[in-house]
Amino acid sequence: MKRDVLYRVVLIAGLLVVSLVALAPSVPGVGGALPQWWGGLLGNRGIRLGLDLQGGSHLLFTVDLDKAVEIHLDRKIGEIRRELRDAKVGAIGVERDGLALQLTLPNPERRGEVIEILGDRFPSLVVESGALGSGPTIRMTLDPREIQQLHEYALDQSLETIRNRIDEFGVAEPSIQRQGRQEILVQLPGIQEPERAKALIGRTAVLEFRFLADTSGGYGPDNPAPGTEVMSGVEVDGTTGQTRRIRHLVESEVRMTGDTIADARMQLFDQLEGPTVQLTLNGDGARRFDELTGANVGRRLAIILDGTVYSAPVIQERIPGGRAQITGGFDIKEARDLAIVLRAGALPAPVTLIEERTVGPALGRDSIQQGLLSFLVGGSAVAVFVLIYYRMAGVLAVSALALNIIYLLAALSGFGATLTLPGLAGIVLTLGMASDANVLIIERIREELRLGKTPRAAIETGYDRAWAAIFDSNLTTFLSGVILFQFGSGPVKGFAVTLCVGIVTSLFTAVFATRTVYEYRLAGRRLDHISV
């Protein structure tokens, strides 16, 4: 009996020491004074504050996966045309129709032959109506496994690109992760310019080089020739520096894209044109750019970013060395951000912001203060009440609550949990639950004493009888915490975590620890009176 109690005391005290070691780095004023090795003792990361307490942005983007498939199919069109041209099966029209490719044959007799070539060269494409169909059109879709792979690639690549952009932008401890089927969650603590970050992340940044279409022969933006399209563009006035929107007629064929960019830098070049973005292409890109410009001297090369023509300079001469520049009347911030996104690479598919929660740093500070204040006021009032109402047993209950707070915070810091505002509320509620357990026990002991039992018997039956109710009531609350965790996002999850962890620690402190104290006092002694 005595030995059993000793083990219990050692366990409680040991946990207290471990908890204090774990918590010390998170205590303001103490954390900084600790030696370096302290934090490594338990390998815990300390309690982090949620975005709602320290300020920051929670951004949820959805990746347009259909668009990724469309882009892939568009690339296939050129390859298919080339293959069929080489196979000399006649002039075949290839177009994309939604998520399918449609081929139009001039002579349907060669249908089987065309399907054979396609099946040979493009195993990822599936003929929709089967090889046995007839007629002048063939519809093809991508193999579902290929689509799955494209989706995965688009998500991974988007994540990587967004991470690169944020790293370049400079945010301390960002968190970028996939969520659900096609979403990417970006969390930026303490960010000062959320609007700028949003624009930076959300930009697709697809850079294309195409030629302006020939506008002789009556063609123009109002009357586009086949194989050309109308795009809007910006034009900088040479004398005032003002920008205005204009329309361009450009060829549909993309000559080069931004995937060969090795570096992009903002440069202040011309006072009037404002800052520009200087592009340096990699070896392959430089060679292709050299060929492209060499073969097309005199034509206007449009530099297109996300569907807008930024400039369309006349190629004066062959351009070796792989250097190009983008102008477009940017201000310094715009040019710097553009350089960042071009350097970090294009997104494989457009992303759309579908949820944003931004908390300013001032509100975060206020929330912490208000949370602490209400915690102190509520907590100390309850403590005073319990002390008066239950006397010595009350002292024990309040000590158990204090122990509970220490254990709970240490456990949270051990998990590297994030403390949110609802999380603080969860702690407050846990303390309510813990004090309920003590109230149940003490009330039960009182009842047993009223029945005339000795203090020892009353304590034993009190704890035993109260346990069933305490266990059931805590388990139900634990269950609602689990449901809350499943359902919730961000702050609500924080609430669920503190609630569930708190239930475990409060069962330990309110039942196990307080009982140990009684056992200690009862061990080998006769107790005539207890103060409850």
Partner 1 sequence: MAQSSTSGSGAAQPPLRFFEIIPDGTTIDFVGLRRYSLGISGLLILAALALWVIRGGPNYGVDFVGGTMLHLRFQPEVGTPQIRSLLADAGYRDVQLQDLGGAENEFLLRLPTAPGNENVAKEVTEALQGSLGPDAFEIRRSEMVGPQVGKDLRRKAILAVVASTIMMGLYLTVRFQLRFGIGAAVALAHDVAITLGGLLLFNYEFDLPVVAALLTVIGFSVNDTVIVSDRIRENLRKMRRQSLESVANASINETLSRTVITTGTAIFVILALFILGGSVIHGFAFTLLIGFVVGTYSSIFVATPIVLMFRDTERR
Please, which of residues 39-68 interact with partner 1 by CB under 8 A? 52, 60, 62
CB of 355 to partner 1, least distance (A): 5
Q: In the window 60-119, what residues touch partner 1 (CB under 8 A)?
A: 60, 62
Residue labelled with tokens 């089967």: 130
**How is residue 142 written in tokens?**
């991508």
**Closer Cβ to partner 1, 169 or 209, answer by number:** 169
Select the residue interacting with partner 1 from 16, 117, 429, 517 (CB under 8 A). 429
User: What DSSP designation does 109 have?
Assistant: G
Q: In the window 438-457, what residues touch partner 1 (CB under 8 A)?
A: 439-440, 443, 446-447, 449-453
Residue by residue, what is the 3-state secondary structure of 338-359? HHHHHHHCCCCCCEEEEEEEEE
- The stretch near partner 1 (CB under 8 A) out of 8-16, 132-140, 224-232, 483-491 is 483-491
User: What DSSP designation does 13 have?
Assistant: H
Q: Is 432 in the site for partner 1 (CB under 8 A)?
A: yes
Cα separation, 285 vs 263, whole angstroms: 12
Q: Is 484 in the site for partner 1 (CB under 8 A)?
A: yes
Residues in the chain: 532
**How is residue 414 written in tokens?**
């051990």
**How is residue 408 written in tokens?**
């709970």
Beta bridge partners of 515: none
Total residues binding partner 1 (CB under 8 A): 78
Select the residue interacting with partner 1 from 8, 45, 300, 465 (CB under 8 A). 465
Q: In the window 373-392, what residues touch partner 1 (CB under 8 A)?
A: 373-375, 377-379, 381-382, 385-386, 388-391
Compute CA 278 distance to the chain's CA centroid, rounded to the nearest angstrom: 31
Q: In the window 191-210, what residues touch partner 1 (CB under 8 A)?
A: 194-195
SS3 129: coil
CB of 15 to partner 1, least distance (A): 25
CB of 176 to partner 1, least distance (A): 18
Q: Is 491 in the site for partner 1 (CB under 8 A)?
A: yes
**Closer Cβ to partner 1, 325 or 399, answer by number:** 399
Q: Is 527 in the site for partner 1 (CB under 8 A)?
A: no
- The stretch near partner 1 (CB under 8 A) out of 34-42, 101-109, 275-283, 426-434 is 426-434
Compute CA 324 distance to the chain's CA centroid, rounded to the nearest angstrom: 34
Nearest to 301 by CA among 282, 283, 279: 279
**Closer Cβ to partner 1, 299 or 391, answer by number:** 391
User: What DSSP designation does 513 have?
Assistant: I
**Closer Cβ to partner 1, 141 or 182, answer by number:** 182
Select the residue interacting with partner 1 from 473, 520, 521, 522 (CB under 8 A). 473
Q: Is 355 in the site for partner 1 (CB under 8 A)?
A: yes
CB of 172 to partner 1, least distance (A): 21
CB of 479 to partner 1, least distance (A): 6
**Closer Cβ to partner 1, 285 or 379, answer by number:** 379
Site string for partner 1, 242-261 (x = CB under 8 A): --------------------
Cα separation, 470 vs 473, whole angstroms: 5
Q: What is the CA radius of gyration of the chain?
A: 35
Q: Is 307 in the site for partner 1 (CB under 8 A)?
A: no
Cα separation, 225 vs 296, whole angstroms: 20
**How is residue 342 written in tokens?**
């071009």
8 A C-beta contact, residue 207 and residue 304: yes
**How is residue 87 written in tokens?**
């196979």
What count of other Cβ atoms lies within 10 Å of the Cβ of residue 98? 11
